[in-house]
Chains A and B, each alone.
Chain A
Amino acid sequence: MPELNFLPSLPPALTPPILFGLLLLMGLLGGEVARLFALPRITGYLLVGVLFGPVGLGVLSSQLIKESRVFVDISLGLILFELGRRLDYQWLRRNRWLFATAIAESAFAFCAVYFGLRYFDYPPLHAALAAAIGIATSPAVVLLVAHELRSEGQLTERMLLLTAINSVFAFFSVTMLLPFLHLEQQAGWAETLPQPLYVMLGSLLTGLVVSFFVLRFAAWLGKREDRQFIMLVGMIVFTAGLARSLNLSVLVTLLTVGILARNLDFRHKLMAVQFGHGGQLFFVILFVMAGAGLRFDVLPQVAFIAGMYIVLRFLGKALAILVFGRLSGLRPGAAGLLSISLLPMSGLAIVMVQDASSLYPEFGAKLSAVVLSAVAILELIGPLATKFALKQAGEAGERR
């Protein structure tokens, strides 16, 4: 019998293209099924992730989740860049009450969670870190739900603006708190300070340099949307990869690029490019992988605290918006809906928990269970909350 060594071993190895394609198809299916139940598509993607992830059938092993990191980074890059472009400095400058809303929204969410956890006797630093992570709303969820609904209006604009700002606040607060954790372990300032400083300044600087090149490149290309689209995708993927290689924060770097590309574009060279169908591909992957990464195992033990965490975080955000919203020109009745729309938490929080626990394992053991459980719950109800808020506000587009 001749040797059939040209035949592959079975089953075929899950190479990145196979994986990418499969995730897309499964996500697509999940999204369409979700539509049947009037759920947001991204909830469908997430549930597919949960189903095939380690919690479910286990098709997506932790190894595969790690390997798909590149797709996730690209998706996050596209989203953060887009969100950064919604942070309009001129608007904040003209509408001081809006600026106050943004500050208060982050600060109150932090305080509510911090004092809540302190009340349940969590140590100050741990409580502060968990609270800092809770400042952020999920950029991916709010942006994609708004896109899916073709939502437009004051509530949508403010939701995106506040999300961009609270993401920045969350990251900086977490990064600032990390050295204190180190200090608690009796490490000296000399060992603890350089790392967060490097991440923050490095990410900002990289963002600044990239946005400078983006604007120059756009000026050179001229007003041609197809070319500018390719340029932007190229820049974003490159920057996301670069940030990862330099051990910088993909979040801060891309958000910085988006914010600066918008606010330093004095000559209006950059066009309002939509990522459209191309971007959609990556977003499916992003949420399937987010679903696969969700942890439900510790949920039962920390359900109460995780629930409190969610409620307090919501109350903090809502209080700020109720107090300052009207002053900033929000119509009556919209403040509550805006607060609801800011409920989602997601991958961003998971990344911050991981950063914290890798530097300080004890934190992981104590509080990451609470935060990750809260994230798991909010990943599932957050998109629904945002969709509900935008629809109730009458800002969703008409069905086509």
Chain B
Amino acid sequence: MTLEFTQSPAFTMGVELELQILKSHDCNLARDAADLLARLGKVKHPGEVKPEITESMIELNSSIHERYTTLADELRTVRSVVARQAELLNLRIAGGGSHPFHQWSDRRIYPTERFKHLLNLYGYLAKQFTVFGQHIHIGCSNGDDAVYLIHMLSRHIPHFIALSASSPFYQGEDTSFVSSRLNAISAFPLSGTMPLVESWDEFNAYFEKMHRYKIVESMKDFYWDIRPKPEYGTIEIRVCDTPLTVDKAALLAAFAQALAHYYLIERPREATPDLYLVYNYNRFQACRFGFAANFINPYDQQHANLGDDLIATLKKLAPHAVALESSAALNQLLDETATRRNDSSWLREQLKKSGSLNDVARLQSNLWMGKPDRA
């Protein structure tokens, strides 16, 4: 079985957002995905809305965009439609990588064949997989570019984690991580990174072997942080927590797009095994400490503050952002990084102010749905 890499226009982008469905009366996770999806199936909206592994989640897929502004506009439109339909069912929708206090054992698997299969295979891990991520797709004109880009982006995974981190609370506790969600994903046997292949042919050889071992059926079985998506002709970055707002989701996509533009046009580096020697250290540091993390540069072994390294990266991307008409987006990320605050900081502040995780969940859903709140 050989995977054909569909050609797609380079630097196009799209995002998938996994979202939380909450009950209005206590802001715990609801089980109404099917009813909400049925309603959304009847109203017009751009993009697609799909079920996810448990009945407390839905996934928004944007359409394909060349520019940041159209992506952001589309996400805001879909946001309004989804929020409106949810309200008719007395539900709330929230961003954030984890629900602050739900109990995983209360979750129910969304009844499709694939999700039932995952429950049979993974047991409680499947229900603990009720965490919410943003996936960013970047179009590549061929498989070799995709493989190269995946290796290059691995250096920036900590940046994506620190920028998107929004899962400080898990099962009713402060985890001390800025992103606790990635810990839930690390438990899966096929999580991690793509092996150090150098071309699409080499990748295919690897995939065929894994397929012959019957370890995997399709690309879907790899839960890698970044993976190729040959049927779309994209690479897919999967480490981001779903941000608290769709605006932030669009900003993250713009960052990924600018990085891709930089690497595929300038080709400044070659993929080396060193990238993956520091990978898990850097990833953990980013999950745990966010912008304050220690970051080891795989190319020169120098230690730096992750926030500083991100600022340097964003500055280096400036000319590419001009070409992609996303300078405003990258400047906004630059400003946010300078303050060293991300969505996790916001969530912790809300807990301090309100005193309960139910309130945190309510406030984060207000933020996502664009509702004003009195307190």
Q: Which residues of A contact B (CB under 8 A)?
A: 85-86, 88, 90-91, 94-95, 150, 152-154, 157, 222-223, 262, 266-268, 271-272, 328-329, 331, 395, 397-398
Contacts and interface: CB of A to CB of B under 8 A. Distances in A.
A398 B88 contact: no
Interface stretch (B296-304, B334-342, B353-361): B353-361
Contacts of A268: 354, 359, 362, 375
A21 to B, nearest CB: 33
A88 B358 contact: no
Nearest to A91: B90
Given A91-B24, A94-B87, A329-B35, 18 more contacts: A85-B25, A88-B25, A91-B90, A95-B88, A152-B23, A153-B30, A153-B35, A157-B90, A223-B356, A223-B359, A266-B374, A267-B374, A268-B375, A272-B27, A272-B358, A329-B88, A331-B34, A331-B35
B278 to A, nearest CB: 42
Interface residues of B, number: 26
Q: Which of A85, A88, A90, A223 has the most CB of B within 10 A?
A: A223
B31 A88 contact: no
Contacts of B354: 223, 268
Nearest to A267: B375
Contacts of B38: 331
A253 B4 CA distance: 69
B200 to A, nearest CB: 44
Nearest to A266: B374
B107 to A, nearest CB: 9
Nearest to A154: B35
Given A154-B32, A397-B106, A88 B374 contact: no
A91 B88 CA distance: 7
B39 to A, nearest CB: 6
10 contacts: A86-B25, A88-B24, A88-B25, A91-B90, A95-B88, A95-B89, A152-B31, A223-B355, A272-B27, A329-B35
Contacts of A331: 34-35, 38
Interface string B18-34: 00000111110011101
B67 interface: no
B356 A271 contact: yes
A94 B88 contact: yes
Contacts of B211: none
Closest 3 CB pairs of A and B: A223-B355, A272-B26, A223-B356
B108 interface: yes
A223 B88 CA distance: 29
Contacts of A222: 355
A271 B361 CA distance: 13
Contact of A395 (B31, B39, B374, B375): B31
B374 to A, nearest CB: 5
Contact of A95 (B90, B355, B356): B90
B358 to A, nearest CB: 6
Contacts of B88: 94-95, 328-329
B348 to A, nearest CB: 15
Interface in B117-140: none
B32 A153 contact: yes
Contacts of B106: 150, 397
Nearest to A272: B26
Q: Which of A262, A266, A328, A331 has the most CB of B within 10 A?
A: A331
B362 to A, nearest CB: 7
A91 B25 CA distance: 11
Contacts of B25: 85-86, 88, 262, 272
B205 to A, nearest CB: 43
A9 B283 CA distance: 78
Nearest to B28: A272
Interface string B84-106: 00011110000000000000001
B355 to A, nearest CB: 3
Interface string B339-375: 0000000000000001110110010000000000011
Contacts of B32: 153-154
A329 B23 CA distance: 16
Contacts of B39: 329
Contacts of A91: 24, 87, 90
A88 B88 CA distance: 12
Contact of A271 (B35, B87, B358): B358
Contacts of B90: 88, 91, 95, 157
A347 B177 CA distance: 52
Contacts of B30: 152-153
Contacts of A398: 108
A340 to B, nearest CB: 18
A267 B353 CA distance: 12
Q: Which of A95, A328, A329 has the most CB of B within 10 A?
A: A329
B120 to A, nearest CB: 15
